Amino acid sequence: MRALTRDPQRAALPDGAEVVRFAPDAPAAGFAGATALYLYAQVGTPELLRAAREQGVRHVVLLSSAIIAPGADETHPIHVLHATVEQHLRDSGLT
């Protein structure tokens, strides 16, 4: 298991997990050899998904938010962020 994170010191991961600092200027570096990605919604997702796909990632699990439920306030900033990331994932070609 490899974890790509902005703050390796704060990553609470199981023993044996490889922790890699996310480099926004070279996002593909952390995906070498990976086939799946567990993603937390964030800004810059299209570039991250493109880099993951180019390195062989084929499957993504997105941690989204319950605020995306039908009837939710679509103007709420958290809704906007998560709905946008969900659309980026649908557009990425990844499953």
24 has a pLDDT exceeding 90: no
95 has a pLDDT exceeding 80: yes
Residues in the chain: 95
- When the pLDDT of each residue in the chain is averaged and rounded to a whole number, the result is 88
State how far the alpha carbon of 57 is from the alpha carbons of 25, 68, 79, 85, 87, in Å.
19, 25, 26, 17, 18
Q: Are the CB atoms for 34 and 49 separated by under 8 Å?
A: no
Indicate the pLDDT class of residue 74, thresholds 50, 70 and 90.
very high
Indicate the pLDDT class of residue 33, thresholds 50, 70 and 90.
confident
- In the numeric block, the tokens 């900033």 are attached to 77
State how far the alpha carbon of 16 is from the alpha carbons of 2, 3, 13, in Å.
9, 11, 8
pLDDT for the residue 22: 82
pLDDT for the residue 19: 85
